[in-house]
Amino acid sequence: MISIRIQNLTKRFGAATALHGLSLEINPGELFFLLGPSGCGKTTLLRCLAGFYLPEEGKILFGDQDVTRLPPHKRNTGMMFQSYALWPHMTVAENVAFGLEERKVPKPEVRRRVGEMLESMHMAEFADRRPPQLSGGQQQRVALARALVIRPSCLLLDEPLSNLDAKLRLEMRAEIRRVCKEFQLTTVYVTHDQKEALSISDRMAVLESGRILQIGSPREVYCRPVRTSVAHFIGETNFIAGKVLAQTGDVATVETPIGRFDGVLGDPRARPAVGAAVTLSIRPECWKLSRESPGRNAVRGRIGEAIYLGEVAQYAFVAGSTPLKIFELNPRHVGPAASGELFASAAPEDVVVLSE
């Protein structure tokens, strides 16, 4: 296992800057996600780690080794591409063996390691087939086996599940995490799929326009976004504009068009002054509905449109001129129970105060 340290990395393509002085440290054995919308710089960063792109400024260190200027074949990284990039004329076994043969590993050792890797990927019975004869999930396993068989220092994954259907993506998420932890690999995983990142990452970085907006565990990033763009990208949320009435420590009281709310600062380093304009982020599942007002952080309104999904209901809650999205688990306010006046409330720890 190795750590990966990125120090003040800048990458340009002509007049366009793809990465702006980016710094990041990934721990040994960590499954780390780079997350963000298209064009945010996540794939550029991954290709810099692989050695396909050379940065104009900054350093990349694998452990204590500076690999910034090393060519790809000397970095000992395993990379899995979005397209899998399997050779269609080769068998599964030949595809997996390719990297070992390029490294001049003796043939008996190649056969042994390929056999063990295909067994680990549950693909041993398909060793003599060719990629066009395999399903998407099977091709994905072969590509992963090929990346791992060389025993890389770290594994780099570029949207590896984007070509799979929804059911197979769910299965392969768990499989990728199992393999990475079993082989104790430091792994950097690029995706724009927030569910992938939330479900299997140890930590993640959210990027925008070549800069890191936030780094943290899935729970930290989801529950305590530091900016509106992070809250918007990770999951669904309600944004409510307001002004700060009071602020003590990491807690602020905010006046909004639908009432007064106590909440926590998303970024404790950005402490808004009294009177400053801020935005509240409240996740749909954080609201509680009741007939009686709880008094604090409560909004009076009624349910407009309701979508009943069995285990959960999604409501359009009408509070004055401000529509709110509310999710209720094990729903109680559907059908006749949805009529009349209701109160929606949120605990202060679920109200995130964002100051851009």
pLDDT (tens digit, 0 to 9) for every residue of the chain, 356 residues total? 899 999 999 999 999 999 999 999 999 999 999 999 888 999 999 999 999 999 999 999 999 999 999 998 888 898 887 777 788 999 999 999 988 888 889 999 999 999 988 988 888 999 999 999 998 888 888 988 888 888 888 999 988 887 777 777 887 888 888 888 888 899 999 998 888 899 999 999 999 999 999 999 999 999 999 999 999 999 899 999 999 999 999 999 999 999 999 999 999 998 999 999 999 999 999 999 999 888 889 999 999 888 999 999 999 999 987 889 999 998 888 777 678 899 999 999 999 999 97
- Same-domain pairing of 167 and 274: no
**Among 176, 206, 225, residue at a domain's last position:** 225
In this structure, is residue 29 part of a structural domain? yes
Domain closes at, from 161, 193, 225: 225
Distance of CA 191 to the CA centre of its chain: 7
Please indicate, yes or no, whether residues 263 and 337 belong to a single structural domain of this protein.
Answer: yes
Q: What does R_g of the chain's alpha carbons equal in angstroms?
A: 24
Residue 154 phi, psi (nearest 5): -150, 160
The answer to whether 325 and 316 have CB atoms below 8 angstroms apart is yes
220 and 240 together in one domain: no
List the CATH number of the domain containing 26: 3.40.50.300
Does residue 92 belong to any structural domain of this protein? yes
Nearest C-alpha neighbor of 247 from the set 239, 255, 235: 255
Asked whether residue 160 falls in the same domain as residue 195, the answer is: yes
**Nearest-5° Cα angle at 27, 24 to 29:** 140
Place of tokens 């003590």: 248
- Structural domain tally of the chain? 2
Same domain, 99 and 24: yes
Phi/psi-derived region of residue 118, left when phi > 0, alpha when psi is between -120 and 50, beta in every other case? alpha
Range of the domain at 340: 236-354
